[in-house]
């Protein structure tokens, strides 16, 4: 995510010139100047990669939304906050969606003064979700680390006929001596055991 | 008697025929359901609106229903498929120049309908371009979690073409597919009906393969509902399944095809010329290669051959494709969850039928 000092680079995907003009004016009113509009759907993904925007705003009635889904699939791509808006008042039903996850849905996009809130919601939702995902990843890797340490302890216990606490103390001592993480030493133990097996 | 309202989202494709006919010919009303259909523009929209509860059910790509249940690429919401919306219906279409390139590289005597032969020829085209320093071909498909993606990858990988390195696969929404071919954003695609025939009609593409050349019984769309909704509305769901099965049987009757095509062609449904829709219903498709018309009785299946019964082995196969192409981790629990979302039990109970004996090979995947 960009810091506050650098202007946000915003891509606006909308086939309707009128709606796009209103959106763009709303963004400019809110002080954003780096706005790129994509009106047609040709080679959309490549163009987004080339622009490398901070935020993408797309009209919910635009089939190209599915193209953005592919962006979330390919590893080389970094996720970007995507905000979606509709300009009809099917609003009540879509409002619930704002709390639903990655994407923000915002209604009444046709009002200039509503554009900045769309942008803010999009970014804050994205941050919240990114944080959640990072925490999940961290929990996952901690679990993996614990499994590795447990396996190494088991190997040491069998090889040296020591108990679990002693095995752990041994791993920790070697880690401290070698200025490495316990999980790294544990991995070496496992690798060595596999080589010697 | 007042009817129970059920709202279903659909994408304008021929394989949305079952809910469309159930609503428009009256099978839903006969089951006491006021079936409201809402046309949507993108799979991501339809998925989100289903999971958020704007829709009770959706005409959904079977892999999206599974991915959503597993929380892949979206917020995790358990979905259930009490009904498959038929099987098959896709085709691989390429631009006329690419078609000729492939033909030029065919082994002597090899048939264009043989995916091993066309795959080998396509590989030769890819290698020729690489030698000449030209761009690799870009092929269009409809969604990362789609049978179109998996069918293309199946064809490519069987020929030794690495889908993520040797070519580019790009998501193109179905209504933009023909456009993308015209402006050379893609040189070919795999998509459902009627878009292959539309490309042929405008002389922008030629049909290289029917989907059935690659997978004989390929899962395609399902009627997806939230698992929670199914739990709370078991009786309504059973009526919905019955209405859809009757619609599928009606679609199988050859005498109804003209009416079916006309109804699907309506502006608030597919909004595509009826005769083009009827080609898919009849399984008689002009390929664009001269005057050739290819015929297949299983080009698209609605009620016949148990095509509406959700087969859990189909769900497992789709999950295996996600694992193969690194969209999902290789986790047996994931495969079990995917299978469990295919509710053949609900289907059988709704129709008051015992589970039928299962065929040995539920898919008939071409293996190269």
Cα(B182)–Cα(B117) distance, rounded to whole angstroms? Answer: 26
Q: Considering CB atoms only, which of B45, B185, B327 is closest to A60?
A: B45
Q: Give the phi and the psi of residue B299 in degrees, each rounded to 5.
A: -50, -50
Q: Examine residue A2 and state whether it is found in any structural domain, yes or no.
A: no
Question: Per the CB < 8 Å rule, is B45 touching A45?
Answer: no
Cα angle, residue B190 at apex, residues B188 and B193 outer, rounded to 5°: 120
Q: A149 and A98, same structural domain?
A: no
Touching check for B256 and chain A: CB below 8 Å? no
Q: What is the domain range of residue A23? A: 9-135
Q: Which residues contact B274 (CB under 8 A, 6 or more apart)?
A: B258, B261, B262, B264, B265
CA B327 – CA B68 distance, rounded (Å): 12
Q: From the candidates A40, A66, A79, A137, which should be mutated to test the interface with B, based on the most B CB atoms within 10 A?
A: A66
Tens digit of each residue's pLDDT, chain B (368 residues): 689 999 999 999 999 999 999 999 999 999 999 999 999 988 988 998 898 888 999 999 999 999 999 988 777 899 999 999 999 999 999 999 999 999 999 999 999 999 999 999 999 999 999 999 999 999 999 999 999 999 999 999 999 999 999 999 999 989 889 999 999 999 999 999 999 999 999 999 999 999 999 999 999 999 999 999 999 999 999 999 999 999 999 999 999 999 999 999 999 999 999 999 999 999 999 999 999 999 999 999 999 989 999 999 999 999 999 999 999 999 899 999 999 999 999 999 999 999 888 878 899 998 87
* Nearest partner of B24 among B363, B296, B266, B345, judged by Cα: B266
Q: Does A158 reside within a domain?
A: yes
Residues A23 and A94 in one domain: yes
Q: A103 and A83 in contact (C-beta within 8 Å)?
A: yes
Residue A57 lies in a domain: yes
Residues A107 and A79 in one domain: yes
Same topology between domain B4-87+219-271+303-351 and domain B90-214: yes
Assess if residue A103 is contained within a domain: yes
> How far apart are the C-alpha atoms of B327 and A75, rounded to whole Å?
11
Question: Looking at the domain B90-214, which fold is it?
Answer: D-Maltodextrin-Binding Protein; domain 2 (3.40.190)
| Helices marked H in chain A | 17-29, 44-51, 65-71, 91-95, 115-160, 164-178, 182-196
A81 lies in the same domain as A173: no
The closest CB to that of B75, out of A68, A72, A101, belongs to: A101
What is the second-level CATH architecture of the domain B4-87+219-271+303-351? 3-Layer(aba) Sandwich (3.40)
Contact B204, B182 (CB under 8 A): yes
Task: Name the helix (H) or strand (E) containing B190.
Answer: strand B188-192
Same domain, A167 and A116: no
Residues of A in contact with B173 (CB under 8 A): 41, 63-64, 66-67
Residues A68, A161, single domain; the answer is no
Q: How many domains does chain A have?
A: 2
**Cβ atoms of B299 and B192 closer than 8 Å:** no
**Tell me, what CATH number does A176's domain have?**
1.10.10.10
Residues A54 and A93 in one domain: yes
Q: Given an 8 Å threshold on Cβ–Cβ distance, is B43 in contact with A94?
A: no
Query: How does B319-338 read in b/e, with b if 16+ C-beta sit within 10 Å?
Result: bebbeebebbeeeeebbebb
ipTM value of the model?
Answer: 0.85
Beta bridge partners of B189: B93, B140
pTM (predicted TM-score)? 0.83
Residue with tokens 């893609």: B186
Give a yes or no: residue A142 inside a domain.
Answer: yes
User: Do both A86 and A131 map to the same domain?
Assistant: yes
Indicate whether A92 and A144 sit together in one domain.
no
Q: Is A69 on the interface with B (CB under 8 A)?
A: yes
A101 with A112, same domain: the answer is yes
Q: Is the peptide bond before B119 cis (omega within 30 degrees of 0)?
A: no
Does B68 lie at the interface with A, CB-CB under 8 angstroms?
Answer: no
Write the CATH number for A66: 3.40.50.2300
Within-domain flag for A3: no
């Amino acid at each position: 995510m960009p810091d506050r000092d650098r202007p946000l680079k915003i891509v606006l995907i909308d086939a309707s010139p009128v709606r796009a003009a209103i959106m763009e004016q709303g963004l400019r009113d809110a002080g954003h100047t780096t706005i790129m509009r994509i009106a047609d759907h040709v080679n959309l993904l490549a163009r987004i990669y080339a622009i490398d925007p901070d935020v993408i705003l797309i009209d919910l009635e635009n089939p190209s939304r599915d193209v953005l889904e592919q962006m979330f699939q390919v590893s080389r791509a970094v996720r970007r906050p995507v905000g979606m808006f509709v300009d009809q008042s099917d609003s009540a039903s879509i409002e619930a969606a704002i709390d639903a996850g990655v994407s923000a849905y915002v209604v009444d996009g046709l009002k200039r003064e509503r554009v900045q809130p769309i942008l803010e919601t999009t970014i804050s939702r994205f941050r919240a979700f990114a944080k959640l995902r990072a925490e999940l990843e961290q929990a996952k890797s901690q679990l993996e680390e614990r499994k590795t340490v447990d396996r190494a302890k088991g190997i040491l216990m069998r090889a040296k006929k020591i108990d679990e606490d002693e095995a752990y103390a041994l791993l920790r001592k070697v880690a401290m001596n070698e200025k490495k993480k316990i999980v790294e030493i544990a991995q070496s133990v496992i690798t060595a055991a596999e080589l010697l097996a | 008697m007042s009817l129970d309202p059920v709202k279903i989202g659909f994408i304008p494709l021929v394989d949305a025929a079952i809910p469309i006919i159930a609503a428009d010919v009256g099978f839903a009303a006969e089951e006491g359901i006021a079936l409201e259909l809402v046309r949507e523009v993108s799979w991501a929209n339809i998925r989100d609106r289903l999971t958020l509860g704007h829709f009770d059910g959706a005409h959904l790509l079977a892999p999206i229903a599974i991915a959503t249940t597993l929380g892949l690429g979206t917020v995790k919401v358990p979905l259930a498929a009490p009904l498959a919306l038929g099987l098959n219906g896709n085709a691989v279409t390429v631009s006329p120049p690419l078609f000729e390139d492939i033909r030029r590289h065919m082994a002597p005597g090899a048939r264009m309908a043989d995916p091993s032969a066309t795959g080998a020829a396509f590989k030769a085209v890819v290698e020729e371009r690489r030698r000449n320093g030209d761009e690799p071909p870009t092929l269009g498909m409809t969604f990362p979690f789609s049978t179109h993606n998996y069918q293309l990858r199946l064809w490519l990988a069987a020929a030794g073409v690495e889908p993520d390195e040797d070519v580019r696969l790009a998501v193109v929404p179905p209504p933009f597919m023909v456009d993308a071919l015209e402006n050379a954003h893609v040189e070919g695609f795999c998509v459902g009906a009627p878009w292959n025939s539309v490309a042929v009609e405008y002389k922008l593409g030629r049909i290289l393969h029917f989907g059935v050349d690659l997978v004989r019984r390929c899962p395609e769309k399902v009627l997806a509902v939230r698992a929670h909704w199914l739990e709370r509305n078991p009786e309504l769901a059973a009526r919905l399944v019955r209405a859809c099965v009757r619609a599928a049987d009606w679609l199988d009757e050859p005498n109804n095809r003209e009416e079916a095509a006309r109804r699907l062609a309506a502006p608030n449904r597919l909004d595509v010329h009826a005769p083009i829709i009827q080609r898919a219903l009849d399984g008689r498709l002009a390929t664009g290669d001269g005057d050739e018309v290819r015929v297949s009785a299983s080009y698209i299946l609605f009620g016949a051959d148990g095509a509406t019964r959700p087969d859990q082995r189909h769900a497992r196969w789709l999950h295996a494709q996600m694992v193969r192409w690194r969209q999902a981790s290789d986790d047996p629990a994931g495969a079990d969850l995917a299978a469990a979302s295919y509710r053949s039990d609900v289907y059988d109970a709704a129709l008051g039928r015992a589970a039928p004996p299962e065929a040995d090979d539920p898919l008939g995947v071409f293996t190269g």
